[in-house]
Chains A and B, each alone.
Chain A
Amino acid sequence: MSEKSKQAAKSKSKKTSSYVPIDSPIDRLHPMIKIYAIFCLGIGCAVFPFLWLAYSVVVFLFFVAWKAKMLTKFAGFITAFAIPITVMLLFIQGLYSPKNVTILADFGFAKLGLEGVLYTFKTVGTLLVFLGSFYLMTTTTYPGKLVTAMQDAGLNPKAGYLVLASLNVVPQIQRRIAVIQEAQTARGVEVTGKLKTRFTAFLPIIGPTVMSSLIDVQERGMTLEIRGFGAKGVKPSSLTELNVSPAEKAIKRVLVTFLILCIAFAFSWAIFTRVR
């Protein structure tokens, strides 16, 4: 195992969430504003009848990622998601959608339809808005702050824990895998290099990872109970203090207005097309 991959495994083994602590205006933004952004931008793009809006928002998200000093990671995430899902949907919808009327290309075994292609790009665009904004939220929001903000907004503490646990689950599995891989390396098993070598090393890890995760659930439950989680008749408090600034209130208003305008336009467009 190279020094670089050892360090990567070590850093993975110590991370508890997807959060990347980089000081930026996006990092400092109130978590609830980020949640509003996910829903308002996502739903807005989903209901809006034209696909340009979703892609405009994706471009805007790239700008946000740049402000959050996360541009490279964000670009990597978007690319990794967009390419396979677009290819897959193009194959399914573009070639076999029953709505296909305008034929763009004839491959003999199937015909590529404009309606299916447009539907694909609309769906991919909306998904990119949802996932991209969610990715930015999780990487720029300190988990403790997120749950405090959600609980301040009335979220049940048990649901709050569920949110935190969900955010932590992937990094924790990565951490466990890194620990097992370190142990394997120490015993002379090669875990890096060719895809086949990596796959052979990865396969035996699945069992122990799943088993230890199950054991963890039991132990975690016990820990939480002895630490007063779910105590009856108590409103949980938080060590983190969160205040919404006037600028954040303004952002929230802009987001809600965006959503209302999108819904209104979608509604009007639906009536207009029906009348026409």
Chain B
Amino acid sequence: MPAVIQVENLSFRYAEAKKYALKDLNFSVEQNEFLCIIGANGSGKSTLCNALMGLIPSYFSGKMKGKVTIMGETTSETTIGNLSKKIGLVFQNPFNQLSYTTSTVEEELAYGLCNMGVPRDEMARRVKEIAKIIRVEKLLKKNPLELSGGQVQRVAIGSALIMKPSVLVLDECTTQLDPLGSEEVFDIVKDLNKDGVTVVMADHDMERVARCADRVLVMSDGEIIALDTPRAVFENEELSKHGVDMPDYIRFGIALREEKLYEGLSPLTETEAIIIGKELVSL
């Protein structure tokens, strides 16, 4: 699988900050991979997302070392406008994603396409297509500001997706949603990943990360602490030292092993936990 994102020796220090927010990061993301970034608050997740989108160094001033390459294009050598055709970013606060120059959801979705000069017919077709994916067909004529948090979040994802990016970066985009709205958004992201979009998602919900990610990147104090499969990452009990919670199912597996009731791998999902539970009951 070719790498769509290549991060090499990336360090970044915000202007006037003493400490580096990112410290010598090296990793790559393969095409169609679902990579989750986890870490405590202030560990550098959002800074990394901004660096992937090219907002660092284009938008945030500071000292940057190393480079980020998105599908062969170095972010520091191109414009964000050019990058937006390849990579889409969804902010933590969905209201920050809105242009505030449109009065309906369909216009909001089409905003990026208008900027790219996409013909009207093609634009209307893509709006319809994306509205179906993000499940806002019935909201197209509504004012974006009349929507619920979950609906705005879907519009925010749609506004990034409509540009047909190959990579979607989501910066803790479900933190402001209730569990139901959060799951709705996550389902959409999972579907997109199945359809071939590479996903990089910063998230706090460890159960969800364990369930969906192909790989998990753990950050602490601007450094990469671990980068591996969810099972390998979450089985590491040292993780809590870096402010990262272990998923409950993993805890369950570890507890069973400690009680010498079970010897296999810890469950990652509810289904796996149920299977183990059934096995234990039948013994």
A-to-B contact residues, CB < 8 Å: 13-17, 19, 142-144, 147, 157, 161, 164-165, 168, 172, 175, 219-232, 234-241
Question: A237 and B113 in contact (CB under 8 A), knowing A144-B103, A222-B55?
Answer: yes
Which listed residue (A14, A15, A17, A238) contacts B114, Cβ 8 A?
A: A238
Residue of A nearest to B127 (CB): A239
**CB–CB B101/A231 < 8 A:** no
Bound form: Cα–Cα A238–B118 in Å? 8
**CB–CB A228/B112 < 8 A:** yes
Bound form: Cα–Cα A230–B58 in Å? 14
**CB–CB A237/B117 < 8 A:** yes
**CB–CB A228/B100 < 8 A:** no
**CB–CB B84/A220 < 8 A:** no
**CB–CB B117/A235 < 8 A:** yes
Residues in chain A near residue B127, CB distance under 8 A: 239
Tell whether B71 is near chain A: CB-to-CB under 8 Å: no
Interface size on B, residues (CB 8 A): 44
**CB–CB A222/B59 < 8 A:** yes
A73 to chain B, nearest CB (A): 19
Bound form: Cα–Cα A237–B118 in Å? 6
Tell whether B131 is near chain A: CB-to-CB under 8 Å: no
Residue of A nearest to B122 (CB): A237
B residues 93-144 near A (Cβ < 8 Å) are 96-104, 106-107, 110-120, 123-124, 127, 143
Residues in chain A near residue B58, CB distance under 8 A: 225
Bound form: Cα–Cα A241–B98 in Å? 22
**CB–CB B80/A225 < 8 A:** yes
Which listed residue (B96, B102, B118) contacts A223, Cβ 8 A?
A: B96
Bound form: Cα–Cα A224–B100 in Å? 10
Bound form: Cα–Cα A31–B96 in Å? 29
**CB–CB A231/B106 < 8 A:** no
Question: A16 and B114 in contact (CB under 8 A), knowing A230-B81, A232-B81?
Answer: no
Residue of B nearest to A220 (CB): B100
- 6 CB contacts below 8 A, A to B, read A175-B145, A223-B98, A226-B80, A228-B163, A239-B106, A239-B114
**CB–CB A226/B143 < 8 A:** no
B134 to chain A, nearest CB (A): 16
Which listed residue (B79, B106, B143) contacts A14, Cβ 8 A?
A: B143
Tell whether B202 is near chain A: CB-to-CB under 8 Å: no
B144 to chain A, nearest CB (A): 8
Tell whether B75 is near chain A: CB-to-CB under 8 Å: no
Residues in chain B near residue A225, CB distance under 8 A: 55, 58-59, 80-81, 84
**CB–CB A241/B112 < 8 A:** no
B164 to chain A, nearest CB (A): 12
Bound form: Cα–Cα A226–B81 in Å? 6
Question: A239 and B99 in contact (CB under 8 A), knowing A222-B55, A226-B53, A228-B115?
Answer: no
A262 to chain B, nearest CB (A): 35
**Most chain B CB atoms below 10 A, which of A13, A219, A231:** A231
Which listed residue (A144, A219, A236) contacts B115, Cβ 8 A?
A: A236
Which listed residue (B101, B110, B145) contacts A165, Cβ 8 A?
A: B101
Residue of A nearest to B79 (CB): A232
Bound form: Cα–Cα A220–B114 in Å? 17
**CB–CB A227/B112 < 8 A:** yes
B39 to chain A, nearest CB (A): 22
**Most chain B CB atoms below 10 A, which of A143, A157, A238:** A238
